[in-house]
Amino acid sequence: MLIVQRLYLKEFLKTLAVLTFGIAAVFSIIGLVNRVGDFLQYNPPTAMLVQYTLLGFPKYVHYLLPMAILLSSLFIFSQALKRKEIVTVKSASGRMKKLLLPFVYTGLVLTLFGFVIGEVVVPASTKKMHQIKNKIIKKDKKHLFREGTLYMRGKNNSIVRVGLYLPDKNISKDVSIFVFDEAGLTERINAESAEWDEDAWVLKKVSIQNIAKGKTTEKAALRYEGMESPKIFQEDIWNTEEMTIQELFSYRKRLNDAGFKNVRLVVYINSRLSYPFINFFMLLLGISLSIGGEQKLFQKIYHSGILSHSRANAGIISAAIGLLVSLAYWFGYSLFLSLGYAGTVPPAAAPWIVPALFAGISAYLYKEIPE
């Protein structure tokens, strides 16, 4: 690697680290401030609040990384353009794409980094944040949710297993209820499905096994009030941020096998897959906007006299362009996600449309960088 490549890469990574971790830290603190009113009434230990704040950090790093990559690349190479370094490299018969090759590899590494953060670190940290929140508000968690299967404690100290729970429909499939008294297990109730009806669950195709009498009774339907209302546990169990991509795929397969199509889940899974790739193309876009054919825009601004040739003003220009591009990306991405949720756009395609568009623009602009 050439000295100039190492210098540019070092400056880029340093700027990227400051932007990403700095802004993520600010957002983590803001997240705590927004919840502190709910927490203070329980007098939580300071250490627990600090831990809650730190656990929110990976999520913001994951979400802010594309914008930070774009801003960093714009800033570094617009500085190089202002200092005539790009002109010097070209005058010395240097090939720009060869000079930029380490950044292409860095973009691939950042894409992998974004995927690991989003699929390994964020689910684990989000789950831990939820546990800390429950500890702070002294909430006794009575249920466990894994890949669509729900385990919970009933109102009468029974244990309930729901083989497949559909949060958006309040429908349970493959329900087993184990009823205990002081002597032990007294009754087992199996139901093919259950639906929430105002104030109780209605079990369908029910089999009731009386353990003491060794007798089994079959019923077409049974109104059962021993299970908690869906409102009690709805918020806690359906948190897709706590699920890894493997768990999401497994849950979707189980829904499909049961004959249920969850459009929101399809959109969300594809958004988790598409999101990290934009890191690579944001880097290409930042480089291309700085030293590609669009460098004329920077040159006109620098030579117009509107802004002085200071490092600070160069940073302002880069930040403004980066923020505009980022806002355009986020607006388009959010719009197509909404269209996917509504079914207007195919759910599996909706999260890929804007990333694919930006990928095409970035690749084209990078290809057009003059040698």
Residue 219 lies in a domain: yes
**Looking at the structure, do residues 130 and 10 belong to the same domain, yes or no?**
yes
**Looking at the structure, do residues 119 and 8 belong to the same domain, yes or no?**
yes
**Looking at the structure, do residues 355 and 272 belong to the same domain, yes or no?**
yes
Do residues 121 and 131 lie in contact, with contact meaning Cβ atoms separated by under 8 Å? no
**Looking at the structure, do residues 290 and 343 belong to the same domain, yes or no?**
yes
- Map tokens 């944040």 to a residue: 129
pLDDT of residue 270: 94
Q: Say how many domains are in the chain.
A: 2
**Looking at the structure, do residues 83 and 34 belong to the same domain, yes or no?**
yes
**Looking at the structure, do residues 126 and 151 belong to the same domain, yes or no?**
no
Written as six digits, the tokens of 268 are 């969300």
Residue 80 lies in a domain: yes
Last residue of some domain: 202, 227, 252? Answer: 227
Do residues 208 and 189 lie in contact, with contact meaning Cβ atoms separated by under 8 Å? yes
**Looking at the structure, do residues 174 and 222 belong to the same domain, yes or no?**
yes
Last residue of some domain: 207, 227, 247? Answer: 227
CA proximity to 325, closest of 287, 291, 293: 287
| DSSP per-residue letters across 81-132 | HHTTHHHHHHHTT--HHHHTHHHHHHHHHHHHHHHHIIIIIHHHHHHHHHHH
Residue 78 lies in a domain: yes
Sort 70 into a burial class: Cβ within 10 Å, 0-12 / 13-18 / 19+: buried
| DSSP per-residue letters across 253-276 | HHHHHTT---HHHHHHHHHHHHTT
Nearest-angstrom CA–CA distance, 65 and 182: 56
List, in sequence order, every beta strand (DSSP E) within the chain. Answer: 143-146, 149-153, 159-166, 171-181, 184-197, 200-210, 215-224
**Looking at the structure, do residues 93 and 149 belong to the same domain, yes or no?**
no
pLDDT tens for the chain, 371 residues: list them. 677 788 889 999 999 999 999 999 999 999 888 888 878 888 888 888 899 999 999 999 999 999 999 989 888 887 777 777 766 766 655 577 788 888 999 999 999 999 999 999 999 998 888 888 878 876 655 566 666 677 777 777 788 888 887 766 777 888 898 888 877 888 899 999 888 887 788 899 999 888 878 888 899 998 888 877 766 555 555 567 778 888 888 878 877 776 677 788 899 999 999 999 999 999 998 888 877 644 444 555 555 554 444 444 555 666 677 778 888 898 999 999 999 998 899 999 999 999 999 999 988 888 887 76
Residue 87 lies in a domain: yes
Nearest-angstrom CA–CA distance, 47 and 68: 30
Q: How much is the pTM?
A: 0.76
Nearest-angstrom CA–CA distance, 5 and 98: 10
**Looking at the structure, do residues 96 and 166 belong to the same domain, yes or no?**
no
CA distance readout (Å), 84 to 81, 91, 278, 288, 321: 5, 10, 29, 16, 20
Q: The domain spanning residue 160 has which CATH number?
A: 2.30.30
**Looking at the structure, do residues 78 and 147 belong to the same domain, yes or no?**
no
The domain of 337 spans 3-137+267-367
**Looking at the structure, do residues 129 and 147 belong to the same domain, yes or no?**
no
Cβ neighbours of residue 71 closer than 8 Å, sequence gap 6 or more: 15, 19, 286, 318, 319, 322, 323, 326
CA proximity to 171, closest of 199, 149, 196, 191: 196
**Looking at the structure, do residues 15 and 125 belong to the same domain, yes or no?**
yes
